Structure 1
Amino acid sequence: MSENQDRKRSNLLVQVEGVHVMEHIANNYNKVSAFCPDPSDLLIATYPKAGTTWVQETVDLLLHSGDSETCKSAPIPVRMPFLENSARPGIPSGLDLLKAMEPPRVIKTHLPFHLVPKGFWENKCKVIYVARNAKDNLVSYFYFDQMNLTHPDPGPWEGYIQKFMHGQLAWGSWYDHVKGYWEERERRNILYLFYEDMKENPRREVERIMRYLDLSFSDDIISRIVELTSFKSMKDNPMANYTFMSKTIFDLSLYTFMRKGEVGDWMNHFTPQQAEEFDEDYEKKMKHVNIPFRTQL
């Protein structure tokens, strides 16, 4: 690893209202919190590595009637700004991008519910939330943190499990994240999607998103969108697979941004003892909610 990559890996997480985030996001949070969206703006919210890009591309294709060429006009973070992200090599900050765009805009965030700018709720913006079962989300995040040179070094797998369980990763606790949006989904008209449902029946979930956006398309267009948002299609799409990112940010020689996209890959990583300890902790943290997660299909 180069000296420059080593320097970046020295970055530590800091807390904003009890949530661990990267320092550049913490430094920018006051401006992010003050952001006032247009009522026509759409927010796509997720915990990292829960299907964010998949839903972003699905939404973009729906908004452009399945026109893949229009959706390949720019990298996905330019088409759908990452709200809390500050400027990176080749990509302006989320707020700067949003200032230059006319509503309606599609905006991405990993912020937990209580850190989302209040304007989204005051203006009754539509919000799509995507949740992925904890074990697969943990595995995907582990590999992502190895190739994401702007995050702290993830360390060994055994220790990473503990970090996840204690909310010591960027964007904080998975448990608080998925519960926060779940508990507010009806009051805030949040479309709450599950990664596993999208894998099981992508057409059904594309149609759910379509109806939520008050759109209607022919079966042919829906089928085209389902095909264009398949894992293989998106992994081969240079405007969605993050191969456009600077090598100082993502080391794609380690792992690709879209690695497997499977349900149940956690079984290839957890030992029986790790799974038992994780399940016991999960039950304690999730005992007061009944979110229908599935760890295999």
Structure 2
Amino acid sequence: MPDDQIVSSRRLLVPVKGIPLPDHIAEGFDAVSAFCPHPSDVLISSYPKSGTTWTQEIVDLLLHNGDAERCRRASIIKRHPFLEVSSHLFKESGLALLKEMDPPRVIKTHLPFQLVPDGFWENKCKTIYVARNAKDTVVSYHYFHQMNQTSPAPGPWEGYIQKFMRGQLGYGSWYDHVKGYWEEREKKNILYVFYEDMKENPRREVERLMKYLDLSLSDDVISRIVELTAFMTMKENPMVNYTFLPKTVFDQSISSFMRKGDVGDWKNHFTPEQSAEFDEDYKKKMKQVHIPFRTQL
């Protein structure tokens, strides 16, 4: 049995300050909330299925000068602890892994802005937020919920879209999540990255991340990082594709953790009626803010 996991069965969602979180995360949330990072720590945040793992791997390669072997030193969950995850899901909780590591550390979270421990802002930690358009996110999240045996069963697609629009999925409302970080990005020095921009011009976005991290790498190293983080390359990399978890956690015979990685795949899933209803709802929820999402390239 791989040492990265222990269990599992479908879990329930429990509200924490109004945000539905997996029960095993909600149970230990006080300890997560009290976590105090080092000022040199880097936080990578996103709503689930928005390009988190992709961004993590780019950052790891940037920090290790494009050394592919160095970035295969351990699975992604051990290199970049998942802040809020509990030992009910993996052998060690995110907090336990962080205690074993010396700063600077790269830390992953899916928490909405208001649930991120205050220490990240008090210590002025660098924070990278990666956001993906709502339609592709809901499609990817639906597939993820089918294969993730530790999450609530997603149910049929037509009902799942309604849950997404109502914010009734794990980590709550996508709309509030992306708006929360967007509205705080300047005050908190958050680098806001769009999945669609990464797909359109990966080199440009890798260079943006490099500059934000105060690094300076050669053009050759940047080119290598772009190649190493291409979708199909990562899909075959056992340190990032989550095949290190057993079927009792992620059953990838149902759907791959890294499924397609496309922009615009939503067109293969939404009916015209569903798309129209979703667009109308989107306009209402996003009318107070202009975040330049793109649903196709």
| TM-score, L = length of structure 1 | 0.96
Post-superposition offset of 1:88: 4.8
**Structure 2 residue aligned with 1:8:** 9
Given that 2:75 and 2:240 are in contact with CA atoms closer than 8 Å, whether structure 1 keeps it comes out as yes
SS of 1:68 mapped into structure 2: coil
Alignment partner of 1:236 is 2:236: yes
**Structure 1 residue aligned with 2:82:** 82
Distance 2:275 2:29 in 1: 36
**Structure 2 residue aligned with 1:279:** 279
Distance 1:101 1:170 in 2: 28
**Amino acid across the alignment from 1:8:** S
Alignment partner of 1:178 is 2:178: yes
Alpha carbons of 1:249 and 1:130: their partners in 2 closer, same or farther (altered >3 Å)?
Answer: same
Given that 2:24 and 2:88 are in contact with CA atoms closer than 8 Å, whether structure 1 keeps it comes out as no
Unaligned ranges ≥5, structure 2: 1-7
Post-superposition offset of 1:220: 0.4
**Structure 2 residue aligned with 1:65:** 65
**Structure 1 residue aligned with 2:105:** 105
SS of 1:163 mapped into structure 2: helix
Post-superposition offset of 1:12: 1.6
**Structure 2 residue aligned with 1:166:** 166
Q: Percent identity?
A: 72
Post-superposition offset of 1:13: 0.7
Deviations 1:100-159 (A, max 9, x none): 000000000000000000000000000000000000000000000000011110000000
SS of 2:188 mapped into structure 1: coil
Post-superposition offset of 1:91: 3.8
Distance 1:246 1:166 in 2: 32
SS of 1:238 mapped into structure 2: coil
**Structure 1 residue aligned with 2:120:** 120
Given that 1:113 and 1:177 are in contact with CA atoms closer than 8 Å, whether structure 2 keeps it comes out as yes
Post-superposition offset of 1:87: 1.5
Post-superposition offset of 1:92: 1.1
Distance 2:107 2:37 in 1: 9
Distance 2:252 2:21 in 1: 23
**Structure 2 residue aligned with 1:288:** 288
Given that 1:182 and 1:192 are in contact with CA atoms closer than 8 Å, whether structure 2 keeps it comes out as yes
Distance 1:152 1:262 in 2: 25
SS of 2:69 mapped into structure 1: helix
Deviations 1:235-254 (A, max 9, x none): 01000000001221111111
Distance 1:133 1:89 in 2: 28
Distance 1:266 1:90 in 2: 31
Distance 2:130 2:281 in 1: 22
* Structural mapping, 1:254-269, within 5 Å: 254-269=254-269
Alpha carbons of 1:14 and 1:88: their partners in 2 closer, same or farther (altered >3 Å)?
Answer: closer
Alignment partner of 1:30 is 2:19: no
| TM-score, L = length of structure 2 | 0.96
**Amino acid across the alignment from 1:78:** K
Distance 1:181 1:213 in 2: 18
How many pairs were matched up?
A: 290
Given that 1:127 and 1:190 are in contact with CA atoms closer than 8 Å, whether structure 2 keeps it comes out as yes
**Amino acid across the alignment from 2:149:** L
Distance 1:103 1:166 in 2: 38
**Structure 2 residue aligned with 1:226:** 226
Given that 1:90 and 1:246 are in contact with CA atoms closer than 8 Å, whether structure 2 keeps it comes out as no
Distance 2:88 2:201 in 1: 36
Deviations 1:43-102 (A, max 9, x none): 000000000000000000000000000100100000000000001566411000000000
Post-superposition offset of 1:271: 0.4
Distance 1:186 1:89 in 2: 35
SS of 2:95 mapped into structure 1: helix
Distance 1:152 1:89 in 2: 14
SS of 1:237 mapped into structure 2: coil
Alpha carbons of 1:117 and 1:90: their partners in 2 closer, same or farther (altered >3 Å)?
Answer: closer
Post-superposition offset of 1:277: 0.4
RMSD: 0.9
* Structural mapping, 1:32-51, within 5 Å: 32-51=32-51
Distance 1:222 1:246 in 2: 33
Unaligned ranges ≥5, structure 1: 1-6
**Amino acid across the alignment from 1:97:** L
